[in-house]
Chain A
Amino acid sequence: MTRWLQKIFVAVLTFASLTLLEADSVAHHSFAMFDFTKAISFKGSVKEFLWTNPHVILWFSVDPAKEGDPRPVWWAELTSPGNLTRVGWSKHSFKANEPIEIEIHPLRDGSQGGAFKQAKRLETGEVLTSNLRDAERPGLH
Chain B
Amino acid sequence: MPVATSGRAMILSLHARAIFVVCSPLVAGNGLAGCTSASDRARDRELPFEPAATLVELMDSEIDPAADALWASVASITNEEGFEERQPRTDDEWLELRRRAITLAEASNLVAMKGRRVTAGYVAARAAGELDSAEAQRRIDANPDVLRAFANALHETSVSALHAIDAKDPAALLQAGGAIDAACEACHLSFWYPDSKP
Residues of A within 8 A of B (CB): 24, 27-28, 30-33, 35-37, 46-54, 80-83, 91-92, 94-97, 108, 133, 136-138, 141
- Known pairs A53-B71, A53-B174, A81-B178; A96 contacts B80 (CB<8 A): yes
A-B contact pairs, 19 of them (CB 8 A): A28-B64, A30-B196, A32-B126, A32-B128, A32-B193, A36-B197, A52-B174, A53-B70, A53-B71, A53-B174, A53-B180, A54-B177, A80-B177, A82-B182, A91-B78, A92-B83, A97-B80, A138-B185, A141-B178
Q: Does B74 contact A (CB under 8 A)?
A: yes
Contact B175 A49 (CB under 8 A): no
Which of B75, B130, B178, B189 touches A32 (beta carbons < 8 Å)?
B130
CB distance from A22 to the nearest CB of B (A): 13
Which of B79, B175, B188, B192 touches A47 (beta carbons < 8 Å)?
B79
Contact B78 A30 (CB under 8 A): no
Count of A-B contacts with CB under 8 A?
Answer: 105
Q: Which of B81-105 contact A (CB under 8 A)?
A: 82-83, 86
Contact B181 A80 (CB under 8 A): yes
CB distance from B181 to the nearest CB of A (A): 4
CB distance from B196 to the nearest CB of A (A): 4
Residue in B closest to A92 when the chains form the complex, CB atoms: B78
CB distance from A69 to the nearest CB of B (A): 20
CA distance A92 to B78 in the complex (A): 8
- Known pairs A31-B193, A53-B178; A95 contacts B78 (CB<8 A): yes
Nearest 6 A-B pairs (CB), nearest first?
A82-B178, A30-B193, A52-B75, A32-B127, A53-B177, A91-B76
